[in-house]
Structure 1
Amino acid sequence: MSDTFEPANIIVTGGCGFIGSNFVHYVVNNCPGVHVTVLDKLTYAGNPENIAGLPEDRVELVVGDICDAELLDRIVPGHDAIVHYAAESHNDNSIADPEPFLRTNVEGTFRLLEACRKYDVRYHHVSTDEVYGDLALDDPARFTEETPYHPSSPYSSTKAASDMLVRAWHRTYGIRATISNCSNNYGPYQHVEKFIPRQVTNILCGIRPKLYGDGKNVRDWIHTEDHSSAVWTILTRGRIGETYLIGADGE
């Protein structure tokens, strides 16, 4: 591992969303002295209630769009790092209307990288295991950092594109960047459209839970607390330019 990086002032994009807000809680609870600026557009998936009650002297909410270069020019200076969670992330929505996914996931990442380049800010990019595509049901193999990208949906292809931008900006411009690709998250503040909350609420409402396909799909699930601790470890101790895969061996 490289020397420990000790940020005092970080921006968390998408910090009112499910995984981002859990990371904000993790930082507040485990990293005294770190101030968090949450940058969130507050789309349907972002809820300020997810970070309500956190100390105001340590968490500040800025409502805005990661694609807004002027806004980034105003808020990025003075921060040590950006942890980028903001994304359009629902596969079904990406099939119905891919355009917001291109704008947020590709252009938004580009704008953040340019801001990091301009102000010499450390950047961590939160991505997904879906960039690697699918494994056969009985395949004992696992995705590794060397697995070729094989995205299949508009969502996963825009996340793959954003990963490639991060690598290019690191290599071309020397951006201090890391990437993590994580499996499916579950935990508090998750939007009801997602798989586990949807099944649980269906059962509570007396509705029969819905299986996808033949019901034999296998997913790896990780609790957001474990994901958050991994991201913090990568941000503070990871090697610049590296990609890290985060999983829980919880199929």
Structure 2
Amino acid sequence: MIKASNMTGNISFQEMKQQLHAETACPLYIQLAFLLEKAIKTKSFPNHFLPVERDLAKNLAISRVTVSKSLSILENKKLISRKQGLGTRILFEQNNPLRYRGFNSSLTSLDEVTTIEWLLRQRMKASDEIAKYIEQPQNSEIAYLKLLRLANGQPISLEYIYAPLKFLSNPEIFDGALHEYWNERGFHLAQKYYRIKAIACDMESAIFLNVAKDSAVLKMTEITRNQFNEVLQVKIAITISDLYEYEFAS
């Protein structure tokens, strides 16, 4: 339970109220949004939830309309999530300068059901480019996976995964989540590198994603390393651009 006299560990309702009602030309709801964002980013709220709107309004001596407009600003900035009956949940994570939310986590928050359709699972000779990415000799044999990711049955991402056979020895029979597969074998994800680029959709991707050729999509190259700084995988994903979320914190 959050007490009105001590709303958070770093700032009280009284302190926030004094700052809100200081003389300024800035609208009250923008002031409140600024103060709440500052409190969120300093982890001032326990349990990853904001106080309910009526408590904020009452203890700050402002209207619920003002509170609601402030929360809308934070929601648009992807700092909070509001759901009827569940409250206002904090989404911001302070200690990670780049927070990447892939399809499964992003879409789960939107109540989407994600599935995958395997297109290819095989071994292949690494091209010069892929060999360089995964730090393997040219023309070495590697694992190759190609899949289509869907949300509620609709295609959203065409993905190509390349991995050394050391970390995926039998791609032909693989079926599951790679991070779980690696964890079970003592290889833990320690670092990810991303390169993200907006591109015009090529014909193959357009067919699989059910979009027009040359429409705007994202091409994401992801390199994953384990605790020994070895490359576990290189993944190239062609995705409908509004389904990934990236947050940068200074």
Do the two structures share a fold, i.e. TM-score over 0.5?
A: no
Between Structure 1 and Structure 2, the one with more strand by share is: 2
Which structure exhibits the higher relative contact order, with contacts defined as CA atoms closer than 8 Å and separated by 6 or more residues? 1
Higher helix fraction (1 or 2): 1
TM-score range, shorter chain: under 0.3
Question: Which one has a bigger Cα radius of gyration?
Answer: 2
